[in-house]
Chains A and B, each alone.
Chain A
Amino acid sequence: MSDITTKMIIDCVREVARRDVSGDTDIFTAGVDSLAVLRCRALLKKWTGVKVPGHVFFGGRTPEGIVDLIGADNAGR
């Protein structure tokens, strides 16, 4: 799961929501919604083979926060 980088999150937000965000932008304030998360998740799976649980997006909120949460989830397993 640690293969997922902040850049990947930024790239997928650009792709699915057509928004340019930086590592510390709250993606939901920037206009991402559940359906965009759904698409983002599908893209990440295509790129890395990993299916990220939805709550990681809503809990992390920023690309950096999301990656941190993925790492934390991973470490806890």
Chain B
Amino acid sequence: MLVVEDSPLYSAEFFATGDPWSYLAQLRREAPVSLHRRADGYEFYALTKHADVHAAYVDHTRLSSAYGTMVDGSYLPRKDSASGRMLIVADQPEHAAIKKPVKAGGFNRTMLARIGDTVRRNIRTALDGLAVGDRVDFSRVVAPALPMGVLEVLFGIGATDAGHLLERTRTMIGYRDAAYVGGSSLDSLVDAQLEVLDFIEELIDDRIASGADDDMIGMLAQLVASGAMSRDVALLNGLNVAVGGNETTPHTASLVVTTIDAERDQWRGVVDGRVGADVATQEFLRWTSTNSYVQRLSVADFEVGGQVIPEGSFVTLWNMSANRDEDVFERPDEFVVDRQDNKQIAFGAGMHRCIGAPVATLEVQTFVEELAEWDKAFEVVAPPRRLHSNFMLGLTELQVEVVKAKALVA
């Protein structure tokens, strides 16, 4: 098996300024299962093929989520206090017990419809505020409109509070990136995290007092009130949903804009109605692969891709690589807006598949629909600045000029 010392996969810098796509393509071809070491002794196995990544996702009994889903989330393979209590780091049976109320309270059909309406309203408001000739940073002016509506509905809060919450979760996830925080980064992280927890706790207390259960927080609050869920579990999962929802789709939206700018001929198909927004959305999700990988820990020997990964190893599942696998996708390195039968795995698979996937897909599709309808368009006017992270592929700055729609797709 290939062993890579000082692997670039550890480096946030490499993902911001290098070419991780090519590096992963090379691994896929030459060493689909490989071991990556760092000087301090941390090591993980990397799965790069679609079939292997999928197999790892669905084998949740041998690959545990309880030891953290990010490389460096914890240095040693050990659980932390959220393990088994927060969806993203819970195995069975705890996982199912938490997932049920979160899904029922936050991601049911009624909520989805309300979220869709709110997201569309917010995107329209953001786009209506722009005039031809305006130059803005899309990542800050428009992109946050996607998750904001989700927060408003799930947490039952106004746009101002939703915006505030977004800033806090952005600090938590992007704390290593100077674009999001100045000064002492770890201080900013813990302060932001506690503020979010404080805020969610206030909401839960409000709902317990009022008895309202018509949103996700309300549903969690009533479970706390009845004793069916502990307050800590409710808090941790409120935090999990807020972070998971906020720190993903704005990046996807920014990368949708750069993709459209680079693929204007293909975008014309969506504008003309020849390509459905739903089909295009699947390809945008494949192409952008916002969450680049997740980590698991093998709690038993795990056979994959003709190799055996020993018990007690960190294993990383590279979504972004699986989404460019030549064995699954024709012309994998090309954006194909009308790609049929799209097997993109941007949200993972199996029981840990992103609980917000229907909402995120709805956000992106709504954004695509609104852009296609808009009488204007975004033209990228400066090289975008990529997020310093190997975990989230996104942009911290995207300078665009608002032009007439016809100028982009003549």
Which of A's residues lie within 8 Å of B, judged by CB?
33-35, 37-38, 41, 53-55, 57-59
Contacts and interface: CB of A to CB of B under 8 A. Distances in A.
B51 to A, nearest CB: 38
B198 A38 contact: yes
For the complex of A and B, list the 8 residue pairs with the smallest distance between their C-beta atoms, beginning with the closest. Answer: A55-B187, A54-B194, A33-B81, A54-B190, A54-B191, A58-B190, A55-B190, A38-B197
B80 A38 contact: no
Interface of B: 80-82, 184, 186-188, 190-191, 193-195, 197-198, 201, 232, 235-236
Contacts of B198: 38
Given A35-B81, A35-B232, A55 B191 contact: yes
Contacts of B232: 35
Nearest to A59: B187
Given A34-B193, A37-B194, A41-B194, A55 B201 contact: no
A57 B186 CA distance: 12
14 contacts: A33-B81, A33-B82, A34-B194, A34-B197, A37-B194, A38-B194, A38-B198, A41-B194, A54-B191, A54-B193, A54-B194, A54-B195, A55-B190, A58-B187
Nearest to B201: A38
A15 B187 CA distance: 25
B299 to A, nearest CB: 23
A34 B201 contact: no
Among A34, A57, A58, A59, chain B packs the most CB atoms within 10 A around the CB of A34
Nearest to B198: A38
Among A35, A38, A59, chain B packs the most CB atoms within 10 A around the CB of A35
A59 B193 CA distance: 15
A76 B236 CA distance: 33
B87 to A, nearest CB: 16
